Amino acid sequence: MTATVKTPPWSDAWGSEEDAAPVDPASLIALGHIAATTPDELDSRVSAAHAALPSWSRDHRQRAAVMTRWAQALTAHADELVSALVEETGKPVREARAEVAGAVEALNYNSGLCRYVGGRAGALSDGNVLHLVRQPVGPTAFIVPWNWPVLLLLRDLSPALAAGVTAVVKPSPQTAQVTARVLALGHEAGVPEDAVALVIGNRAVGDALVRHRLIRAVSFTGSTAVGQAIMQSAAIDLTRPLLELGGKGVAVVFSDSDVDRACDAILAAAFITAGQMCMACTRVLVHTNVHHQVTERIVNGTKALRVGDPRSADTAIGPLISVAHATRVLGYLDDVRRDATVLTGGQEVHPDGLPGGFVTPAVVTDVDLDSPIVQDDVFGPVVTIEPFDSEDEAVTAANATPFGLVGAVWTSDVNRAWRVASGIAAGTVWVNGYNKSYPEMPSGGFKGSGLGRTRGIEGVEQFTEVKNVHFTVDDPGV
């Protein structure tokens, strides 16, 4: 039976505004056009994913083999994918290469988890037998952002495929083309087209996908506001949400830390993808004894970063995703100059004559804890430096935003590291490091940074239902 797709409340019909019309963020040159998926097409693809679930989930070895071949295909086409990522996201070449490599690693790791069983069995007190088994949750929607579109897709999709679900993928329209290519390589590697399908569109298409009654789970990475809207749509049919949302990544630097090493890691983490990353280090809390030293080191390091054409090998920071977003970030910096100090950066530039939304990386100090630059997910190349005097003060300040995705502690005292890491309300806390992510390490957020976990065994189990199968024994002998 064909399922019903409910019309989104804010749209009477899907029009051309739902089409994918990406623009190169650096040059502002149009990159082509993909028509939005129609309501009938969306319904057909979800229904096909539902029908494909039994055969796809049944053969663990087949899933493992095709995922391995998919990883090999991404490796073989890495140069093509890197070029597409640079063109569609504006990220520098070295970041694009790291993204493709991370996607390959996710597929390879999770291919082995296709044979993960994850249940248990045992005799009950009355002599009967209980089997707890895990089975795929069902067709799952994957709504993927533009900033790391290949890695974030396969970070979540790989454990889901290991669990045996089928998928309908809706990328950001800005990165629809590279996503379509990645999925095409998966289909060539043996993933059935009905098992992993693509839909194109913006908000209305995404909402209709989440509301489709055959979709049983939704995986989304993106802003907290959109995550809240997805939860409202998912609630209609009690669709399971997996949400990794906004962040205000914080690094806490104590006076007994390796300051140079800490600053190097903070600089890399603060300005990755021009700060347009939910795990970016946006706040640095520094003990007053080393506040001047850390501030000087970060300011000098920030000034040394080259803003330029993302295709150039020596570019550290490319454009923001759009001129409109660059204007938004610059607005935050204009506002904060009234009450705080911008030590460097925060200026609009056009390197190499490129018209895109380029912003020089900014370091801000003398900020109040309730300042929007501290409290909001600015999502740009901006980092604040905030002093503290005690462990308790540092933990209180670290937890003083609505977010709780990631944090880091820098100290040579292992006991302090444990105390502070335990006190920070975040899904991931690194000690003497930052942005260390692995396919076997679960990740996710506290508070406004989302719910659920991806990666690792927990990532596979996220896409399963637990079923209790009770066997009544004719003669239990009790």
Provide the residue ranges of all domains of the chain, joining segments of one domain with +.
Answer: 16-245+449-468, 249-431
- The pLDDT of residue 477: 59
| 398-425 as b/e: b if 16+ CB within 10 A | bbebebbbbbbbbbeeeebbeebbebbb
Over residues 199-217, the pLDDT tens digits come to 999 999 999 999 999 999 9
Kindly tell me if the per-residue pLDDT of 117 is higher than 90: no
- The pLDDT of residue 60: 93
User: 325: helix, coil or strand?
Assistant: helix
Decide: 361 and 381 in contact? Cβ < 8 Å. yes
Residue 240 CA to residue 137 CA, distance in Å, equals 9
DSSP 38: P
Over residues 435-467, the pLDDT tens digits come to 999 999 999 999 999 999 999 999 999 999 999
Show Cβ contacts of residue 184 under 8 Å, excluding neighbours closer than 6 positions. Answer: none
- The pLDDT of residue 2: 42
Kindly tell me if the per-residue pLDDT of 234 is higher than 70: yes
Decide: 147 and 322 in contact? Cβ < 8 Å. no
- The pLDDT of residue 156: 97
- The pLDDT of residue 279: 96
Half-sphere exposure of 159 (CA within 13 A, CB side): 24
- The pLDDT of residue 11: 41
3-state helix, strand, coil in the chain (%, to 5): 45, 20, 35
| 40-79 as b/e: b if 16+ CB within 10 A | eebbebbbbbbebbeebbeeeeebbebbbbbbebbeebbe
Beta 120-123 vs 446-447: how paired, if at all?
unpaired
Over residues 50-66, the pLDDT tens digits come to 999 999 999 999 999 99
Q: Quick count: other Cβ atoms within 10 Å of Cβ 120?
A: 10
Kindly tell me if the per-residue pLDDT of 381 is higher than 60: yes
pLDDT band at 13 (very low <50, low <70, confident <90, very high): low
Kindly tell me if the per-residue pLDDT of 15 is higher than 70: no
Over residues 217-229, the pLDDT tens digits come to 999 999 999 999 9
Q: What is the mean pLDDT of residues 357-370?
A: 98
Q: Is the pTM of this model over 0.85?
A: yes
Q: Which residue has the tokens 């005690």?
A: 390
DSSP 180: H
Decide: 419 and 393 in contact? Cβ < 8 Å. no
What six digits make up the tokens of 292? 């001047």
Decide: 89 and 321 in contact? Cβ < 8 Å. yes
Kindly tell me if the per-residue pLDDT of 6 is higher than 60: no
Helix (H) or strand (E) holding 450: strand 450-451
First to last CA, the chain: 48
Q: What is the mean pLDDT of residues 110-114?
A: 95
Cα distances (Å, whole numbers) of residue 416 to 216, 231, 256, 412, 420:
43, 37, 11, 8, 6
Please identify every residue annotated as catalytic: 244, 278
Cα distances (Å, whole numbers) of residue 272 to 12, 155, 223, 269, 360:
39, 18, 17, 6, 13
Domains 16-245+449-468 and 249-431 share a fold: no
Show Cβ contacts of residue 440 under 8 Å, excluding neighbours closer than 6 positions. Answer: 109, 455, 456
Amino acid found at 372:
P
Residue 99 CA to residue 221 CA, distance in Å, equals 16
Q: Which fold has domain 16-245+449-468?
A: Aldehyde Dehydrogenase; Chain A, domain 1 (3.40.605)
Q: What is the mean pLDDT of residues 304-329?
A: 97
Q: Quick count: other Cβ atoms within 10 Å of Cβ 396?
A: 13
Q: Which fold has domain 249-431?
A: Aldehyde Dehydrogenase; Chain A, domain 2 (3.40.309)
- The pLDDT of residue 34: 94
Over residues 278-293, the pLDDT tens digits come to 999 999 999 999 999 9
Decide: 122 and 135 in contact? Cβ < 8 Å. no
- The pLDDT of residue 478: 52
- The pLDDT of residue 275: 98
Kindly tell me if the per-residue pLDDT of 148 is higher than 90: yes
Residue 257 CA to residue 262 CA, distance in Å, equals 8
Q: What is the mean pLDDT of residues 109-116?
A: 94
Sign of CA dihedral 142, 145, 149, 151: negative
- The pLDDT of residue 3: 44
Beta 120-123 vs 129-136: how paired, if at all?
antiparallel
pLDDT band at 14 (very low <50, low <70, confident <90, very high): low
Helix (H) or strand (E) holding 373: helix 372-375
